[in-house]
Chain A
Amino acid sequence: MARIIEPDLNFVKGVIDAGGDTLKKCYQCATCAVVCPLSTNENPFPRKQMILAQWGMKEQIARDPSIWLCHQCSDCTAYCPRGARPGDVLAAIRSMAIREYAEPKILWSLYNNPAGLIVLFGVALVVVLAAILAANHGMPELEVPVKFSHGLFHGFLPVLYVDAIFLPVAGFAALIAIRGIANMWKQFTTGLDIPEAYKPTTMEMITRYIIPTFKEILDHERFKKCGVNYERFNGHRYLLYAFIVLFVVTNIVFIGADFLGFHTPWPLWNPVKIFANLGAVILIYGSVLLIQNRKAREAEGNLSGSYADWFLLYLILFIGITGLGAEILRILGLRLAYAVYIFHLMCVFVLFLGLPFSKFAHLLYRSTVMVYDRYVTDVRARMETSAPAATVVEEAAAAGEESSEEAAAEEGQQEAQ
């Protein structure tokens, strides 16, 4: 008996609403699969995904890693004779997949809907203001020269109060993210039937698949190969570097200020400070590049950005501008710095919380898929040569390197989205 198919009409409508409104135009001519470098004989990408989505086959799409391997170079959209815009539909499908792993779903809706913008920033404002009011037992004094905190307990917004806001938010986001990644991994590997002998240990998992994937992401090799224009590749790479830099310096400052007692602000000549400011500049530059690129491609008609795309890009841009702006205004001794600082914290709040809900989630899921892709490709290759991991580690590693490099290159590109 063939498989029972009951299309999920709401999923179809969901993809259409999430920016895939051209989904139904596809008539399976396969032009997209011809131009797409991800397409294989077994998996005619994205043609297959288009009809699965048309037929509301949510489960099968969610189980399909390749939707995350797409970096939306939009060649398919450019060549589609029917105006079905597979690139945009794939982006919508990814958005739906993020929703699938998100909990509570209401947060996904807030991040993928213009109306949610007010709610999110409203909540962020309330939280930040509440912290300020609580720390100062009322209205804070806007002292000049500007100082955002006086150590852990005092000042406009003391360090511990900042932690009190962001540690729970980041923790919550991380929990949902881990849950999402775990679900995804489970979905992918269920029914994969990899024999015990080929299953890697945790250590092997890390050394053979996760670390090479990180390298690959850093290099953005896949992204570069996609045939995407250089600005987009570059902009995305800058953003990634900026996030890494800012992640590192934030943690250094967190430990330095909270535990070692080095009160902020640190002087401008401090290498960490220099590093942090550099990160902020790269962040702004990268997001401007990407915004320009997206605008240009929309003008060409090869991309129609959804709300979620623009939301994330502008959020990142504002984080950079407000962060750097608050610092400059503080140094200049202008009271406006306080307001800008509050706005900066709000933006960061929205970004942190949005990790598993907004488009930012592609950081989680695409990376996961890249690890998975590396893993499955390697296991399959070894199963073909019938060499379990333990026996031919060396050989497989040598062989795997090549194939994974290629795979890595492709994955890296998707990051740029």
Chain B
Amino acid sequence: MEKIGVFICTSCNIGDRLEVSELEAAANEQGCAYCASMPFLCGKEGVSAIKSAIQEQGLDSVVICGCSQRVNYDVFDFGNVPVERVSLREGVVWSRWPTPKEGEELPEDESQIEVAEGVSFKDELMALAKDYVRMGVVKMQKYAPPEPYKPEEEISWKILVMGGGVAGLTAALEVAKAGYEAVIVEKENELGGFVAKMKKQLQVGAPYRELEEPVVKKLIAEVEGNDKIQVITGATVEKIAGAPGFFDITLKKGGGEDQLRVGAIVVATGWKPYDASKLEEPYGYGKYPDVVTNVQFEEMLAKGELKRPSDGSPVKSVAFIQCAGQRDPEHLPYCSSVCCLVSLKQAKLLREMDEEAKAYIFYKDMRTMGIYENFYQSLQNDPGVFLTKAEVQSIAQGDDGRMVVEVSQTLLGEDMAVPVDLVVLATGMVPTTADDPIIPLEYRQGPGFPELELFYGYADSNYICFPYETRRTGIYSAGCVHQPMGIMQAMEDATGAALKAIQCLKAIQAGHAVHPRTWDFAYPEFNFKRCTQCKRCTEECPFGALDDDPNGTPMPNPTRCRRCGTCFGACPERVINFKDYNIDMVSSMLKACEMPEPDYGLFRMIAFVCENDALPALDMAAYHRANFPLSIRFIPVRCLGAVNVAWVRDAMSGGWDGVLMLGCKYGENYQCHFVKGSELANRRMENVAETLQQLALESERVVLHVVAIDEYDKVPKLLQEFQESMEAIGESPFKGW
């Protein structure tokens, strides 16, 4: 930008602790067009002063030096005029304090406190603040306003729903209710999925105590009566090509193929029961005909015939074995979350059919999610339902032909052998995505969602922050393929996924990122002339946004892109840049900082900070008036994955003593907004080490730490330790070059 206005706020202790006139001078030196300071910049007068300065001075951008970018962003919004925020409050005056040595009494005047030979605390504090002001101005100088990405093709507003069970039907109905078109593709010949095979289901709504007719019949009728929903049964999705907004779907129906264009996809392909044949030991499945799964028992109930498979005699007692092959590292390591309720429901149906019948439920833990505790209580009250925690020791046939369930660790304090007519194993759910990609994507990174083993094969993601999101933009999962869940939750889930699919199309229409940087109009632009076809970007993109041509040159798909900048961080040739975030910008910011002469006695460290988690943690630490070392400057980045090694090299050769990278937890239970950012940054530390070697520097000068957003209390110590380790290594030999 050309005409940059710098506005320095003097409130919130900034004016008390800093020499504002010196800051103004630094801004002017750096080449801003206009500079002013005033109290309460965020107040009415402040904002209108900025607005009139923009008008009168013809400013094309502003740099607000005051509070963190995480606060008052709505106050400092000047339409088309871009705003850069320099954090003097959280970054300087609320987080840097003189520390007395033991027994020492510090003078009130910070310029009287000596922190190095001939250097006062105030000097260093001002150096820090001035560096921040300069970096802010430089950043704005290197900034170009992003333009929305406008695809050449017309967006398809149709939403494909894969699967016609409760979740799929609900998703399609919600899409239609919102005024868009939906297509349901169901591989069976009938809609309804698993719930259609049930006799009764749990009440969906208060008081959560009774059973009711399966809701799916009503949903099918609604779908069939809705002219915005097209239903294709007996068909499978063979191929998905393209990108959000314009997916080209190849369907296989009967012998033929069919083409379909959709904008977004809801995957609601559900689950299948765990293969019970693996449960012969210790449950006797396959060995004894009177040991059945909960799915088989559901079918028996739906038929209304409770006869023992072995000899056809009536079933008067049933033992339900919970967690059969679940929460078990040998089988399914997770809880399917519905089986306890399913067994309670089946016990209720059994008892309704025969009031002398006995239902035993042997559980590891009784887990009835949500308000279904009420259902549990109502069943617990039934005299014919016998509940106990238990470990199954064996299931075998007794002398009289009945099954005998032997259990230990019971609530009755003794081992028991319970004779029953039928044993029902509560086997768990396996998502359809566990061993089938389900979404046959024609992406460079292959079909299917990557790395689902983190979620036991479920099409899940980092659910705390982003429910419904998958690692393929424009494709949302709902129902039991997403997480194990009951009917009510699946309907909620489907509603959410449907709305996310619509939101995705809206974002593409507006030309900004879909998620999570929903406001972001910038996108990575490639300078193909300098590309060496190393394929790092196409391989590393966490979202499979980049395809490539036969030569290996990346082919961007901006509507798949989430703007994390992982490709930008990966590129060794630095050919990928955003309009508002590029190599030159940060390199120039590093250069804009004043580097002291050798033997100054104090250090200079730069920290690249993830703006999603680490930056708020630092801000929160500042609100607690934590103390950060004076020598560290922070530069917020999109993601740690968006830190290019070039910056590290520039920093090190520019005389910085150390580089700290603060990002999110990676690996299992990762917290990265972009799934792989901090993990990749960590992997790139090898390249960093190489760079340092070339410069003949110690590899310990560059350190990566993971910080969760709530770990603000740990940040000061972490920074202090970093500073101490730099002191141990000593000053950078590149100072003064």
Question: Which positions in A face B, CB cutoff 8 Å?
Answer: 1-7, 9, 12-13, 16, 24-25, 27-28, 48, 51-52, 54-57
Q: Does B254 contact A (CB under 8 A)?
A: no
With A1-B417, A4-B417, A54-B386 given, is the CB distance from A25 to B412 under 8 Å?
no
Q: Fill in one digit per residue for B464-498: 1 if any A CB lies within 8 Å of its CB, else 0.
A: 00000000000000000000000000000000000
With A2-B408, A2-B417 given, is the CB distance from A51 to B388 under 8 Å?
yes
Q: Of residues 396 to 417 in B, which have CB atoms within 8 Å of A's CB atoms?
A: 404, 406-408, 411-417
* Chain B residues positioned under 8 Å from A28 (CB to CB): 411
- Min CB–CB distance B149 → chain A (angstroms): 57
Q: Does B289 contact A (CB under 8 A)?
A: no
Q: Are B417 and A51 in contact (CB under 8 A)?
A: no
* Chain A residues positioned under 8 Å from B406 (CB to CB): 1-2
Q: Are A2 and B358 in contact (CB under 8 A)?
A: no
CB nearest to B381 among chain A residues: A24
* Chain A residues positioned under 8 Å from B386 (CB to CB): 7, 54-56
* Chain A residues positioned under 8 Å from B381 (CB to CB): 24-25
A-B CB contacts (within 8 Å), total count: 58
* Chain A residues positioned under 8 Å from B384 (CB to CB): 9, 12
- Min CB–CB distance B414 → chain A (angstroms): 7
* Chain A residues positioned under 8 Å from B694 (CB to CB): none
- Min CB–CB distance A220 → chain B (angstroms): 33
CB nearest to A11 among chain B residues: B383
Q: Are A4 and B419 in contact (CB under 8 A)?
A: yes
Our pick among B383, B404, B408, B419 for the contact of A12 (Cβ within 8 Å) is: B383
Our pick among B358, B383, B412 for the contact of A51 (Cβ within 8 Å) is: B412
A27 to B376, CA, bound (A): 11
Extra A-B contacts (5), CB below 8 Å, given A4-B419, A25-B381, A48-B412: A2-B406, A5-B417, A24-B383, A52-B412, A55-B412
Question: Which positions in B face A, CB cutoff 8 Å?
Answer: 356, 358, 377, 380-388, 393, 404, 406-408, 411-419
With A6-B419, A55-B386 given, is the CB distance from A24 to B380 under 8 Å?
yes
A27 to B358, CA, bound (A): 19
Our pick among B358, B380, B387, B419 for the contact of A9 (Cβ within 8 Å) is: B358
A7 to B386, CA, bound (A): 9
- Min CB–CB distance B413 → chain A (angstroms): 7
* Chain B residues positioned under 8 Å from A5 (CB to CB): 416-418
- Min CB–CB distance A179 → chain B (angstroms): 30
- Min CB–CB distance B382 → chain A (angstroms): 7
A28 to B381, CA, bound (A): 14
A27 to B416, CA, bound (A): 19
* Chain B residues positioned under 8 Å from A27 (CB to CB): 380
Q: Are B411 and A51 in contact (CB under 8 A)?
A: yes
- Min CB–CB distance B703 → chain A (angstroms): 49
Give the 5 A-B CB pairs with smallest separation, nearest first: A2-B415, A12-B383, A2-B417, A5-B416, A24-B381
A4 to B416, CA, bound (A): 6
With A1-B406, A7-B386 given, is the CB distance from A25 to B377 under 8 Å?
yes
CB nearest to B415 among chain A residues: A2
* Chain B residues positioned under 8 Å from A12 (CB to CB): 383-384
Determine which residue in A6, A13, A25 has the highest number of CB atoms from chain B within 10 A of its CB, and name it. Answer: A6
* Chain B residues positioned under 8 Å from A55 (CB to CB): 386, 388, 412
CB nearest to B382 among chain A residues: A24
- Min CB–CB distance A127 → chain B (angstroms): 39
A51 to B387, CA, bound (A): 9
- Min CB–CB distance A316 → chain B (angstroms): 33
A28 to B406, CA, bound (A): 21
A27 to B388, CA, bound (A): 9
Q: Are A9 and B414 in contact (CB under 8 A)?
A: no
* Chain B residues positioned under 8 Å from A24 (CB to CB): 380-383, 385
* Chain B residues positioned under 8 Å from A2 (CB to CB): 393, 406-408, 414-417
- Min CB–CB distance A307 → chain B (angstroms): 20
Our pick among B383, B408, B417 for the contact of A13 (Cβ within 8 Å) is: B383
A15 to B602, CA, bound (A): 82
- Min CB–CB distance B358 → chain A (angstroms): 6
* Chain B residues positioned under 8 Å from A4 (CB to CB): 404, 416-419
- Min CB–CB distance A13 → chain B (angstroms): 5
A6 to B405, CA, bound (A): 12
- Min CB–CB distance B302 → chain A (angstroms): 26
Our pick among A1, A7, A25, A48 for the contact of B413 (Cβ within 8 Å) is: A48
- Min CB–CB distance A3 → chain B (angstroms): 6
A57 to B416, CA, bound (A): 12
CB nearest to A22 among chain B residues: B381
- Min CB–CB distance B282 → chain A (angstroms): 14
**22 A–B pairs (Cβ distance < 8 Å), ordered by A:** A1-B406, A1-B417, A2-B406, A2-B415, A3-B415, A4-B416, A4-B417, A5-B416, A9-B358, A12-B383, A24-B380, A24-B383, A24-B385, A25-B377, A27-B380, A28-B411, A48-B412, A48-B413, A51-B388, A52-B412, A54-B386, A55-B386
* Chain A residues positioned under 8 Å from B408 (CB to CB): 2
CB nearest to A5 among chain B residues: B416
- Min CB–CB distance B390 → chain A (angstroms): 11
A55 to B410, CA, bound (A): 12
CB nearest to A7 among chain B residues: B386
CB nearest to B410 among chain A residues: A51
* Chain A residues positioned under 8 Å from B416 (CB to CB): 2-5
- Min CB–CB distance A375 → chain B (angstroms): 25
A398 to B63, CA, bound (A): 93
A3 to B418, CA, bound (A): 8
- Min CB–CB distance A221 → chain B (angstroms): 31
A7 to B408, CA, bound (A): 17
* Chain B residues positioned under 8 Å from A52 (CB to CB): 412
A9 to B357, CA, bound (A): 9
- Min CB–CB distance B317 → chain A (angstroms): 9
Q: Are A3 and B417 in contact (CB under 8 A)?
A: yes
* Chain B residues positioned under 8 Å from A51 (CB to CB): 388, 411-412
CB nearest to A47 among chain B residues: B411
A54 to B358, CA, bound (A): 12
- Min CB–CB distance A113 → chain B (angstroms): 19
* Chain B residues positioned under 8 Å from A54 (CB to CB): 386-387
* Chain B residues positioned under 8 Å from A57 (CB to CB): 412
* Chain A residues positioned under 8 Å from B382 (CB to CB): 24
* Chain A residues positioned under 8 Å from B414 (CB to CB): 2-3
CB nearest to B404 among chain A residues: A4
Our pick among A3, A7, A13, A25 for the contact of B358 (Cβ within 8 Å) is: A7
- Min CB–CB distance B525 → chain A (angstroms): 62
- Min CB–CB distance B362 → chain A (angstroms): 12
Determine which residue in B384, B385, B387, B411 has the highest number of CB atoms from chain A within 10 A of its CB, and name it. Answer: B411
CB nearest to B383 among chain A residues: A12
A5 to B420, CA, bound (A): 10
A9 to B360, CA, bound (A): 12
CB nearest to A16 among chain B residues: B383
* Chain A residues positioned under 8 Å from B385 (CB to CB): 24
A48 to B384, CA, bound (A): 19
- Min CB–CB distance A310 → chain B (angstroms): 25
A363 to B91, CA, bound (A): 81
Q: Are A9 and B411 in contact (CB under 8 A)?
A: no
A56 to B387, CA, bound (A): 12
- Min CB–CB distance B609 → chain A (angstroms): 48
- Min CB–CB distance B263 → chain A (angstroms): 50
CB nearest to B414 among chain A residues: A3
A52 to B382, CA, bound (A): 15
- Min CB–CB distance A406 → chain B (angstroms): 25
A51 to B411, CA, bound (A): 7
* Chain B residues positioned under 8 Å from A13 (CB to CB): 383
A12 to B407, CA, bound (A): 22
- Min CB–CB distance B253 → chain A (angstroms): 52
CB nearest to A1 among chain B residues: B417
A55 to B389, CA, bound (A): 13
* Chain B residues positioned under 8 Å from A25 (CB to CB): 377, 380-381
- Min CB–CB distance B288 → chain A (angstroms): 18
- Min CB–CB distance A42 → chain B (angstroms): 10
- Min CB–CB distance A21 → chain B (angstroms): 9
* Chain B residues positioned under 8 Å from A56 (CB to CB): 383, 386
A54 to B408, CA, bound (A): 18
